[in-house]
């Protein structure tokens, strides 16, 4: 059993679960009468994994221009399968950081109500973006828009008063975390990949408003200037962080800001997105970002910046989330540190440290297992064979 709180592997443990909660962990437990016994003695047991950067309401795989032929109903039909694939991969909790039409809130409710299978979700609802920013539609005729409904049903907001109102509106309708675009991005057609897209005053307003309502914030930020502005505003995490500089690393350490860097996704984008008809300027942006993001991830980790696991699943197929562990180890983490990034660190970032992130008395019985030891071979986490969420077995492929 991997104890993620102290970072050690423990042998010959028994775990007693009642309903959805872990009640006891010991070398020897008297088995209650009529208890169901699950034998994982030939496997390594871990707490359920946590992905802090997912998009469960969509998945690339279609031609780029298919997005203009789909309605929210199309995405709603497919979202439950993405949630199921994520849970099957061993990710029992996720932070979902951007969805249209509050589809993520509806998906979360259906999972919480037991109507469909999926991970626990912390939802961001709409991605807050400036006009013309990474969350807006850029590069097409003004007659085209993702945002054909009322302005409230978009993430677009400009100016201090407008961004404050947007935060309130999103929280009103189910946002458990607030995400905004501090910088330009890769998978959009604005010219820059990392220039700031909000002023310092606007970022400050988003974060302070969210805090007033008891919500953390995360900032999409590639460029160094935007990263530093976001950290100064008080965000809980920087997403991507591709061009983080020495100042940004120092600020993150000082403020306790988490870095959530999606360092597997570069492989998938460069291999597949050209085939899917994505514009050349988008592919070229990824070529600029990919390697330096990984190098800066390594630099930030060595400097002691807090790291939480975030895959950006949805940009590549849901259920492939575990492929990122290999890259985290390749770029400087030990296997234990990579696992902790997706367990105890991720639960801390989400404010769920009392519920998930470790196998501990009083926490949810979110437990996964693999045959073999991922401390010796981190790639084992790409094929999780046993998944339990809240005491309910979702998947068991381990032979007794």
Active site residues: 179, 312
- List the structure tokens of 397: 């492929």
Alpha-carbon torsion, ordered 111, 115, 118, 121, to 10 deg: -10
Neighbours of 106 (CB within 10 A): 16
- Number of Cα atoms under 13 Å in the Cβ half of residue 103: 23
Cα–Cα dist 86/338, whole Å: 18
Neighbours of 384 (CB within 10 A): 24
**Element holding 325 (H helix, E strand):** helix 324-330
Helices (H), 185-234: 200-212, 224-233
DSSP states of 78-102: HHHHHHHHHHHTTEEEEEE---STT
Distances in whole angstroms, Cα of residue 43 to Cα of each of 13, 94, 341: 12, 24, 21
DSSP states of 271-312: HHTTTTT--HHHHHHHHHHHHHHHHHHHHHHHHT-EE-----
**Element holding 338 (H helix, E strand):** helix 335-341
Cα–Cα dist 189/134, whole Å: 8
- List the structure tokens of 150: 């009322």
**Element holding 18 (H helix, E strand):** strand 14-18
Q: What is the CA radius of gyration of the chain?
A: 21
3-state secondary structure of 347: helix
Cα–Cα dist 29/281, whole Å: 60
Helices (H), 49-194: 72-88, 103-112, 160-172
């Amino acid at each position: 059993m991997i104890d993620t709180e102290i970072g050690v592997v423990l042998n010959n443990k028994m775990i007693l679960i009642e309903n959805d909660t872990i009640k006891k962990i010991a070398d020897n437990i008297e088995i209650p009468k009529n208890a169901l016994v699950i034998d994982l003695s030939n496997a390594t047991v871990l707490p359920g994994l946590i992905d802090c950067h997912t998009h469960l309401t969509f998945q690339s795989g279609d031609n780029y221009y298919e997005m203009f032929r789909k309605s929210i109903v199309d995405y709603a039909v497919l979202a439950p399968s993405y949630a199921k694939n994520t849970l099957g991969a061993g990710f029992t909790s996720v932070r979902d950081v951007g969805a249209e039409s509050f589809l993520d809130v509806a998906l979360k409710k259906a999972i919480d109500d037991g109507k469909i299978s999926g991970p626990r979700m912390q939802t961001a609802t709409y991605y807050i973006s400036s006009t013309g920013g990474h969350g807006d539609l850029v590069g097409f005729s003004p007659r085209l828009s993702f945002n054909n409904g009322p302005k409230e049903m978009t993430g677009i907001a400009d100016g201090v008063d407008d961004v404050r109102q947007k935060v309130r509106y999103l929280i009103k309708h189910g946002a458990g975390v607030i995400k905004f675009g501090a910088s330009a991005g890769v998978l959009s057609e604005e010219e820059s990949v990392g220039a700031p897209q909000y002023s310092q005053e606007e970022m400050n307003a988003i974060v302070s408003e969210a805090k007033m309502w008891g919500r953390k914030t995360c900032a999409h930020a590639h460029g160094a200037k935007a990263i530093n502005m976001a950290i100064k505003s008080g965000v809980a995490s920087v997403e991507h962080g591709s061009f983080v500089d020495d100042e940004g690393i120092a600020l993150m350490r000082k403020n306790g800001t988490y870095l959530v860097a999606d360092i597997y996704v570069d492989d998938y984008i460069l291999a597949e997105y050209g085939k899917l008809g994505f514009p050349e300027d988008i592919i070229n942006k990824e070529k600029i970002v990919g390697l330096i993001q990984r190098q800066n991830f390594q630099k930030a980790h060595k400097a002691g910046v807090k790291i939480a696991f975030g895959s950006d699943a949805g940009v590549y197929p849901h259920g492939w989330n575990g492929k990122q562990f290999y890259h985290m180890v390749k770029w400087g983490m030990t296997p234990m540190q990579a696992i902790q990034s997706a367990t105890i660190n991720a639960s801390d970032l989400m404010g769920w440290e009392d519920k998930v992130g470790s196998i501990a008395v009083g926490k949810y019985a979110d437990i996964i297992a693999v045959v073999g030891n991922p401390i010796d071979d981190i790639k084992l986490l790409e094929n999780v064979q046993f998944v339990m969420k809240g005491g309910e077995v979702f998947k068991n492929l381990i032979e007794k």
